[in-house]
Chains A and B, each alone.
Chain A
């Protein structure tokens, strides 16, 4: 009954129809403008860290000690210690990662990142079977870092090493995970 009356009225006052449409459109547009104007900085604040280096201090050349007492073909896990910057925090020297150091009979050094190239877990050395093992999804690597079995898409990541004044330096950096190429992040 009411609907009917309303329709009759609007037929009579056709100007009302246009006015009301205008009000409706304006309301929607203005509200949308508020929404968009506010949304831009909100979304930007939410997204921007994705493109930034918010956690740093974890790459570069690190001194991991002298090269005297390494045993041939026995991997040794050495922590990488450095300053860590995490958003608003700056931490004094702390363990920011680790490497597996391997010396061959010609006294040449290889440094493997302990980070499994599959999905980022820490890789272990299993003395009994003579292989590197990732405890998360059972990726196995031989002493040279080649994939023996398991889901790892590539071999263990080797890191650049340098010997200066009898000390071993490792260029510690993190590589992208889950792909077959070794690319720094």
Chain B
């Protein structure tokens, strides 16, 4: 391509980047830096694709991630790779750090190389922290709450820093937009800037070779970066890639917990690479928590940054640099130990295991309901698709103004705790004018019935048999029931099977869906409370779906206590 070469000088440019001599030859120990670049590029690529679908607002974040995970082609895989990629970067960064430490590559004149590397490590941790919040699920929300609260502990400027990071006085839309802009703009820009510095400095000083060979031997064994080192880098990158794919397939992609619920008690745990900090916090009680959360990590971070100035040995051999090797070993061991301790502590805690199981179940429900369409309010509103949840919401919204329920609510209508369950009905028959039943209302005409226990039980059985109109009622039960109705003069006011009075609710299909719906739609009609009625009609106040959900909920009260 002479035409192209004449105009761009591409070949020369390529050579400039790749024709670097590696003294001592290409080595497997040098692959980690390139692997990091490789994974970072993969993260950018997967991140950009995710960004074509993700929406950083409290109402849409969870839904958009649900959509990526379950409604796009391969979206779950891209997201899974992005998730595993973040863990891979941490692992590779630590390996790279260990290798450069062992080889003494931090020593003069490469101090700035080390320091820029440490800053990149912090930025990678920042990526992990900011990315974790973005799905706005329970896991991300609560873990990040802890992290920003820790930032708030910094003396003097803590509250201000926390306010800047969370975009105000509490978590909300601005928190998500901020974390997103950090994750997608500030941090990548920072990482690339430091990467440029790091790679430039590395090129300037050359690789730090193994400590054994002398100058002459190193020069003799020199190989070009391209293709000798690049080949080793590519093989390792290939292994990393395959490993990531295997992990993603094994885990079935990244998890998505149920939508963030600020009023819940969720067990907050950070990503695995922060677990050691989480464990450390447990040892600092009360006022001392600043020490464990801010002071100790800051001191350790500062020491790591200043490492090239603390340990100034001239030798490349790790055996001659035991203090720094020992310190690093101790730190690593400490981190691993704390991480393991935190896993053991959680896996042995029954309460935590139970809560984890419940969270998993709720996550499962949320995802199933999301398929029915998430309301614009987003997140938690998905549970409105659940008739039980929605029914209860409607009940609390409309009914407990007058009706009492489970110790709360109004006091001008019957208590609906375990409504229409056997105990509720038995209590009702024995004293219909008790405050719990009609005592608070205008209806005070039904007499008490001092029935024999057996009769009472049969009567209630008979009434409740009406609740399932699809099931044939046992003829013996029906006869018994009708007999009791007859003996106790119920037919004076109530109608059953076409016979009886019309000044009290009809007993056909009593407590069935149809009966309940009809009663709630218009309680003032003759079939129900007629002129005694004080309850509003909900025919035009609730949609058909809402009415179905409300009835579903009320039926659950009857069935639950049965």
Asked if B188 is an interface residue, CB under 8 A from chain A, the answer is no
Residues of B within 8 Å of A86, CB to CB, are 58, 172-173
A121 & B145 in contact (Cβ 8 Å cutoff): yes
Asked if A123 is an interface residue, CB under 8 A from chain B, the answer is yes
The listed residue (A133, A178, A180, A185) touching B351 by CB distance below 8 A is A133
In the complex, residue of chain B having the shortest beta-carbon distance to the beta carbon of A99: B263
A174 & B163 in contact (Cβ 8 Å cutoff): no
**Which 8 interchain pairs have the tightest Cβ spacing?**
A69-B407, A65-B408, A54-B168, A50-B163, A122-B265, A86-B172, A55-B170, A87-B173
Interface residues of B in 367-410 (CB under 8 A from A): 377, 380, 397, 400, 404, 406-410
The listed residue (A91, A154, A178) touching B377 by CB distance below 8 A is A91
A124 & B263 in contact (Cβ 8 Å cutoff): no
Q: Which of A7-15, A22-30, A135-143 contacts B (4 or more CB under 8 A)?
A: A135-143
Give min CB distance, A98 to chain B, whole Å.
Answer: 5
Asked if B430 is an interface residue, CB under 8 A from chain A, the answer is no
Residues of A within 8 Å of B286, CB to CB, are 147, 151-154, 180
Contacts from B to A (Cβ < 8 Å): 58-59, 142, 145-146, 149-150, 152-153, 159-160, 163-164, 167-174, 261-268, 278, 281-282, 284-287, 289-290, 292, 351-352, 355, 377, 380, 397, 400, 404, 406-411
Give min CB distance, A79 to chain B, whole Å.
Answer: 6
In the complex, residue of chain B having the shortest beta-carbon distance to the beta carbon of A178: B153
A151 & B146 in contact (Cβ 8 Å cutoff): no
- In the bound complex, what is the Cα–Cα distance between A143 and B160 (angstroms)? 34
B266 & A122 in contact (Cβ 8 Å cutoff): yes
Residues of A within 8 Å of B174, CB to CB, are 49, 54, 87
- In the bound complex, what is the Cα–Cα distance between A77 and B336 (angstroms)? 38
A178 & B289 in contact (Cβ 8 Å cutoff): yes
Query: Given that A55-B170, A91-B377 are known contacts, is A126 also in contact with B407, CB under 8 Å in the complex?
Result: no
Give min CB distance, A146 to chain B, whole Å.
Answer: 12
- Chain A, 133-169, contact with B by CB distance < 8 Å: what is the 0/1 string? 1011110000000010111111000000000001000
Give min CB distance, A39 to chain B, whole Å.
Answer: 15
The listed residue (B150, B266, B285) touching A119 by CB distance below 8 A is B150
Among A46, A94, A149, find the residue whose CB has the most chain B CB atoms closer than 10 A: A94
Interface residues of A in 35-86 (CB under 8 A from B): 46-47, 49-56, 58, 64-66, 68-70, 76, 78-80, 86
- In the bound complex, what is the Cα–Cα distance between A9 and B352 (angstroms)? 80
B58 & A89 in contact (Cβ 8 Å cutoff): yes
In the complex, residue of chain A having the shortest beta-carbon distance to the beta carbon of B407: A69
Give min CB distance, B70 to chain A, whole Å.
Answer: 25
Query: Given that A69-B407, A95-B263, A98-B263 are known contacts, is A55 also in contact with B169, CB under 8 Å in the complex?
Result: yes
A58 & B149 in contact (Cβ 8 Å cutoff): no
In the complex, residue of chain A having the shortest beta-carbon distance to the beta carbon of B289: A151
B409 & A137 in contact (Cβ 8 Å cutoff): no
- In the bound complex, what is the Cα–Cα distance between A89 and B168 (angstroms)? 14
In the complex, residue of chain B having the shortest beta-carbon distance to the beta carbon of A121: B268
- In the bound complex, what is the Cα–Cα distance between A80 and B408 (angstroms)? 13
B152 & A177 in contact (Cβ 8 Å cutoff): yes
A55 & B355 in contact (Cβ 8 Å cutoff): no
A54 & B167 in contact (Cβ 8 Å cutoff): yes
Residues of A within 8 Å of B410, CB to CB, are 66
In the complex, residue of chain B having the shortest beta-carbon distance to the beta carbon of A87: B173
Asked if A88 is an interface residue, CB under 8 A from chain B, the answer is yes
B411 & A97 in contact (Cβ 8 Å cutoff): no
Q: A69-B404, A94-B377 are in contact. List 10 more A-B contacts (CB 8 A).
A: A49-B164, A88-B173, A98-B263, A122-B142, A135-B266, A137-B282, A149-B285, A151-B284, A151-B292, A185-B169
- In the bound complex, what is the Cα–Cα distance between A33 and B126 (angstroms)? 32
27 contacts across the A-B interface (CB closer than 8 A): A49-B174, A50-B160, A54-B167, A54-B170, A54-B172, A65-B409, A66-B404, A78-B408, A86-B172, A87-B167, A87-B172, A87-B174, A89-B59, A89-B173, A96-B262, A121-B142, A121-B146, A122-B263, A124-B351, A135-B351, A137-B278, A151-B285, A151-B286, A152-B286, A153-B289, A177-B149, A185-B170
- In the bound complex, what is the Cα–Cα distance between A10 and B520 (angstroms)? 99
Residues of B within 8 Å of A66, CB to CB, are 404, 407-411
Give min CB distance, B440 to chain A, whole Å.
Answer: 12
- In the bound complex, what is the Cα–Cα distance between A95 and B292 (angstroms)? 33
Query: Given that A49-B163, A137-B282, A153-B286 are known contacts, is A80 also in contact with B263, CB under 8 Å in the complex?
Result: yes
A153 & B287 in contact (Cβ 8 Å cutoff): yes
Residues of A within 8 Å of B355, CB to CB, are 135
In the complex, residue of chain B having the shortest beta-carbon distance to the beta carbon of A77: B265
- In the bound complex, what is the Cα–Cα distance between A94 and B153 (angstroms)? 30
Give min CB distance, B417 to chain A, whole Å.
Answer: 8
Query: Given that A66-B404, A151-B284 are known contacts, is A114 also in contact with B265, CB under 8 Å in the complex?
Result: yes
B263 & A96 in contact (Cβ 8 Å cutoff): yes
